[in-house]
Amino acid sequence: MPRALATRMAARRERKANQRKPETFIEHVWSWIKTIVWALTVVTIINGLALASFVVPTGSMESTVLAGEFLFVNKAIYGPSTPQIIPFINLALPFYKLPPIIKPEQGDVIVFIFPGNRDQAEPDNFEYYLKRCVAVAGDVLEIKGGRVFVNNKEFPLPKTGQFYQLTPEERAAQYESERYRTFPPGKGWTRDNYGPLRIPGEGDNILLSRDNIHEWATFIRREGHSVNEDRLLIDGKPVSSYTVARDYVFGMGDNRDNSLDSRFWGFIPEEDVVGTPIMVYWSMPVTSNREYVRLSDGSYEPKPLTLFERIKAVRWSRIGTFIH
């Protein structure tokens, strides 16, 4: 070891040994505050640049991942960013994202910033969602009888995906009411019969008229513009077309009959795809699979488990599972 380096290390150890320890209550509090702030800073930087933790909130991706699972997420692959949130308090921060190593591709499981419900230009809260990318900018997507086709080629249900075993007639009856809830508004599509729809990309030119402005109004607002649907104005100027500013992807849950996804709230900006899950590092159920509670509308849902019940039911076999 070079003499100069050894000397510096010895001096550093001496300074640390001679550093006065906190004595008063105020000094102890201040010492703890500095430690907590330092820890939060380190976690926030790592969370933005390389590796993050994600908790699966729902069963929309079963059985690829299960509700209540904790995942490690690779955030470097689609472009590391400055911190997007302050951990633990979930406070959103302005962020800058670096160019991606690779772009999201069809079949990737992606973690992304939720764009908001169908008619929202901005979401109520900053949230990360998890879905599978089934189509990217420039692709044409269509769903026929629950089967997904991209550019006229079927994109099969993943091996770990799920589907209700219903007849075509039962499926049509069950999803008829969704015609007023799916994206884009006014199309009257259902989760089972959807499209064809082209996934927009940067530079695409969308022709606008009074007949279709309602379909695209929220999309254009999400790109940062004001829209007057009655007068066909964007940012106060009359228009007959709109040029798309960003690339987008289309996300769906592997639990295709039990997933609210791009079919209901729209496209995902490619720049808002923050990572892909690597593996499950902890897994415990959120709800009971045997007990149900009745809701005010007369329907039933699985009974939520207490923390003690969840710990007792840890899914040990899922820990260490890699996500594909």
The reported pLDDT for the residue numbered 10 is 59
- Distance separating alpha carbons of residues 317 and 324, to the nearest angstrom: 17
The reported pLDDT for the residue numbered 177 is 87
Mean pLDDT of 15-29: 63
Q: At 3, is the pLDDT very low, low, confident or very high (cuts 50, 70, 90)? A: low
Chain centroid to CA 230: how far?
33
The reported pLDDT for the residue numbered 1 is 47
114-148: string of b/e by CB count within 10 Å (b at 16+)? bbbebeebeeeeeebbbbbbbbbbebebbbeebeb
Report the CATH fold assignment for 43-202+249-318: Umud Fragment, subunit A (2.10.109)
DSSP, res 177: G
- Distance separating alpha carbons of residues 222 and 115, to the nearest angstrom: 8
pLDDT in tens, 78-89: 988 877 776 666
The reported pLDDT for the residue numbered 13 is 61
Instruction: Spell out the domain ranges in the chain.
Output: 43-202+249-318, 205-243
pLDDT in tens, 184-196: 999 999 999 999 9
Mean pLDDT of 26-47: 62
- Phi, psi of 84, rounded to the nearest 5 degrees: -95, -25
- Distance separating alpha carbons of residues 125 and 9, to the nearest angstrom: 48
Mean pLDDT of 168-176: 84
Q: At 22, is the pLDDT very low, low, confident or very high (cuts 50, 70, 90)? A: low
Tokens standing for residue 159:
């091996």
Q: At 172, is the pLDDT very low, low, confident or very high (cuts 50, 70, 90)? A: confident
- Distance separating alpha carbons of residues 183 and 191, to the nearest angstrom: 10
Please report which residue ranges of the chain form alpha helices under DSSP H: 3-18, 25-49, 168-175, 213-222, 262-265, 307-312
Q: 28-42, 102-116, 153-167, 229-243: which has the minimum mean pLDDT?
A: 28-42
90: region left, alpha or beta (phi > 0 left; psi from -120 to 50 alpha): left
The reported pLDDT for the residue numbered 293 is 84
pLDDT in tens, 93-125: 787 888 888 999 999 999 999 999 999 999 998
pLDDT in tens, 267-283: 999 999 999 999 999 99
Mean pLDDT of the chain, nearest integer: 87
Instruction: Tell me if 137 sits within 8 A of 201, measured CB to CB.
Output: yes
The reported pLDDT for the residue numbered 14 is 59
The yes-or-no verdict on residue 182 having pLDDT over 80 is yes
pLDDT in tens, 42-69: 555 555 556 788 899 899 999 999 999 9
Tokens standing for residue 186:
């006014």
Q: Bridge partners of 29?
A: none
- Distance separating alpha carbons of residues 14 and 20, to the nearest angstrom: 12
Which contacts qualify for 170-176: CB closer than 8 Å, 24 or more apart? Answer: 171/145, 171/146
The yes-or-no verdict on residue 5 having pLDDT over 60 is no
The reported pLDDT for the residue numbered 264 is 97
Instruction: Tell me if 323 sits within 8 A of 130, measured CB to CB.
Output: no
**High-pLDDT (> 90) share of the chain, %:** 62
Distances (CA, A) of 30 to 26, 34, 35, 45, 222: 6, 6, 9, 23, 43
The yes-or-no verdict on residue 251 having pLDDT over 50 is yes
The reported pLDDT for the residue numbered 48 is 53
CA torsion 275→138→183→251, rounded to 10°? Answer: -30
Q: Comparing 93 with 314, which gets the higher pLDDT?
A: 314
